[in-house]
Structure 1
Amino acid sequence: MISAGCGPVGSFVMATDAAVTATLASAGYDFVVIDREHGPNDIRSTIGHIRAAEANRTIPLVRVLENNPGQIQATLDAGAHGIVVPKVGSAAEAAAALKASRYERGGRGMCPAVEAARWSAGDTWAEHRRSSNENVIVVPLIETRAGIDSLRDIAAVDGIDFVFFGLADLAQDLGIDMYGDVGRLVDIWNEAVEVVHEQGARIGAPLGYGFEGGDFGTVESDLTLLKSAAVAGLARHRDATSRTPANGA
């Protein structure tokens, strides 16, 4: 999609019910980020989300709690098409996350009897290994001062094709207000876009904050979208009922 000039749009998924992912997919979202850093999803509910995404032809990514090889392996074994890694602050950290996602010496552990491998027999393992190593996406979250300072090196790591601009934690790390100082964040973003594109990688960000020139983005999260719709619907119909005379009077 990106190569065709169309920026993919996704949303974070906090709820544990896989129907939420199916709903977002049916609404046309190109990908979901199942949140295991801030959301309550465990490995069982994550598998449900992944299956719902695949059944409805959207891409399931998972944000892990931390840059931990065990967590990355378990998430990919569950079938995630890619991982979003919080607070990546150096090229070494990005490379470590990438290594944990690859079937290679010292990397991701081999096990055919998992969801991602479709419980493969020996004759299908080689294809799974090849496909996984070629297609699993690793997305460093750039959300600290260290990440911004090291962004050029992070984006230059061979195999890191995407990074994501995490404005909330970045604002906190910089000691500024995410909303009141959004202009400063936009300035940082504009420099980040140039740096990442110079390295041949792609960069995404939350949409609706003035971050222009990116390659992909996210629209809020499932539950914030639900609340926004609920508030709007309540206001609209509350207003309508307040104008309706009681008992026909």
Structure 2
Amino acid sequence: MQGHTTLKSKLTGDVPLCGTFIFSSDPATSEIAARAGFDFVIVDREHTSLSWRDVAAHVRASDAVGVPSLVRVRRADADEIGHALDVGAQGVVIPHFGLNREAAAGSVAAARYAPLGNRGTCTGIRAAGYGLDDFGAAVARANRDTLLMVQIEDVAAASALDAILSQVSVDAILPGLADLSTALGHPAAFAHPRVTALVDRILADAAKHNVPVGFYVANAQALSRWSGGDVRFCVYGIDYKVLAESYREARTALDRQWKSGMGAGVPGGRPRGVGA
């Protein structure tokens, strides 16, 4: 593929992107998010019990509607990274990146085939067309297009980010603000001066190495804090939380209508708007 056709290439473009986290085992959630207009989905294994069969189903579902999928692996582990890429994900998200320099370098190598890395080779994987694709072309495509997104979630890694990025090559950074703010003694206080100072340092070091940065946002209002020129993408919500909040907001609105008298009934015994 040429031009801005992969998520990796789009992150260097002029249009900000928005993805979402998928925790559910039902692949319909990935398809729904894709059909709703999200630019990518991140299928999560770090905080879920999703199996690799579940992950593969999500990847297929998002592929079916032309939206790329990433997999957040449980740790910087070559087997985890290899599994995610073998089932056809367009990239991986690695949590707590940089806390262990050796593990960081190993995870980067695991995401790329030789000579760029040491990703395990198998011609029969989904990412290589189950053996029907030209494998040389599949290797070249993977090394060119695979997205390596890392999460900087520890103060030590954030403080050493310039040095880390001088040693390894990554494609995008998703700071873990919940972890960072908690480590600084200000849980979820993202506007605290110590937190914003560390975020500014991450942005500056990433810009120095031309690495796009994005942020997790729980709602559209939160995006205003991070929608400056140095921020290239956001990750909105978690499917379960979006569903829970949608139900709660709907129930609150319905209760408000009942209390306003709309549920008092009309001739015929049925409240307006209820049933068919």
Give the structure-1-normalised TM-score: 0.91
Q: Which residue of structure 2 lines up, in the alignment, with residue 230 of structure 1?
A: 247
Q: What is the aligned partner in structure 1 of residue 237 from structure 2? A: 220
Q: Look up the match of 2:146.
A: 136
Contact conserved, 1:63 with 1:86, CA < 8 A, in 2?
A: yes
Note the alpha carbon deviations across 1:92-146, whole angstroms, 9 max, x for none.
443221101112277111111111111124x611111110111111111100012
Residue correspondences, number: 248
Runs of 4+ in 1 over 6 A off after TM superposition: 246-249
The structure number with the bigger radius of gyration is 2
- The within-5 A match list for 1:71-220 is 71-89=80-98, 92-104=102-114, 107-121=118-132, 124-157=134-167, 159-179=169-189, 182-207=192-217, 208=222, 210-213=225-228, 214-220=231-237
How far the C-alpha of 1:158 sits from its partner, in A, is: 5.0
Question: Structure 2 CA distance, aligned partners of 1:49 and 1:109?
Answer: 22
Q: Is the 8 A contact 1:154 1:160 kept in 2?
A: no
The question of 1:63 aligning with 2:72 is answered: yes
User: Runs of 5+ in structure 2 lacking a partner?
Assistant: 1-9, 270-276
Given that 1:205 and 1:217 are in contact with CA atoms closer than 8 Å, whether structure 2 keeps it comes out as: yes
User: Helix, strand or coil for the counterpart of 2:215?
Assistant: strand
Residue 41, structure 1, aligned to residue 50, structure 2: yes
Contact 2:189 2:195 in 1 (8 A): no
Q: TM-score, normalised by structure 2?
A: 0.83
Confirm or deny: 8 A CA contact 2:12 2:212 kept in the other structure.
no
Match of 1:245 in 2: 264
How much does 1:70 deviate?
1.0
Unmatched segments (≥5 aa) in structure 1: none
Change (3 A) 1:185 1:212: farther
The answer on 1:5 being equivalent to 2:22 is: no
Corresponding letter in the other structure for 1:79:
G
